Structure 1
């Protein structure tokens, strides 16, 4: 009987030394995306929704999916005044093609290159690392015309430090 009690006590103490499962909480901050707000040139103080805009990475086959519920090409269109797009964590530059009115034959594409530095931050064993970005002091967002006419008229960097998605980092007037 003493052996059985000793064995149970030993087993109980052994289990109490086990660590709980490491699960990354969904509310844990992860690598933030750059937040861009759009304004029309006729009223650059009021955010204005873009029309069927797509955002495609330089070497990517398909644009970013903004509408996961759609099953056709409309999954790539965004019709809001604010978008959040990811920056590359393995490079100090990210280049995107921003296409305005992508569903039309009158579409217009401008290429934006974002230049930044990266800081990898350890979050936890379960979540791993996240990367914060700091946009370059000058030339942080460079526009290149892809088709002969710019639809993006002005780019203003509001916050160079990209550490959360709670605020706008860049304003674009079109």
Structure 2
């Protein structure tokens, strides 16, 4: 009986210490290389959030990838290319299409032994067509792993 109590104490102590051994670095995050964008009214004198309804977004280069499909959204997470220095997206807003070109540089960054390496990006510039997009402003140029900043503001008509 005494051995059972000792065994039970050891098991409880190990279970209690197990969560403490995990660190924040061991949690590998998704969207670690995504430009975070928000939509704003181009007709307002102050930044006023707005939404796109029934809209789709897809990447163009190097291949056509659907990012959002017929959704309503106020913000977007757009993954940048690891291979190219320009990433292109098309926003389809109720059959009106605008194209965004992100020119960016990248630098490899070590995250942890569990998560490995990723790229941190710097947005150099953004070009866009003007069908329903009025203007684009880069708010935070750096797109870093695990940071939650709105990088780009997209003003729409």
Same fold (TM over 0.5): yes
Structure 2: how far apart are the matches of 1:54 and 1:98?
A: 6
* Superposition pairs of residues 1-174 of structure 1, within 5 angstroms: 25-26=26-27, 31-43=32-44, 44-59=46-61, 60-64=63-67, 66=68, 76-101=69-94, 107-136=95-124, 140-144=125-129, 150-163=131-144, 164-174=146-156
Q: CA offset at residue 144 of structure 1?
A: 3.5
Shift of 1:92: 1.0
Q: By how many angstroms is 1:131 displaced?
A: 0.8
Q: Is the 8 A contact 1:33 1:165 kept in 2?
A: no
Shift of 1:33: 0.8
Conserved? CA contact 1:34–1:86, under 8 Å: yes
Alignment RMSD:
2.1
Point out 4+ residue stretches in structure 1 off by more than 3 angstroms: 27-30, 59-62
Q: Say if 1:30 and 1:130, in contact at 8 Å, map to a contact too.
A: no
**Aligned residues, how many?**
129
Gaps of 5+ in 2: 1-24
* Structure number, greater radius of gyration: 1
Alignment partners' CA distance in 1, 2:71 and 2:36: 14
**TM-score, normalised via structure 1 length:** 0.66
Counterpart of 2:19?
none
Q: What is the TM-score with the length of structure 2 in the denominator?
A: 0.73
Pick the structure with more strand per residue.
Answer: 2
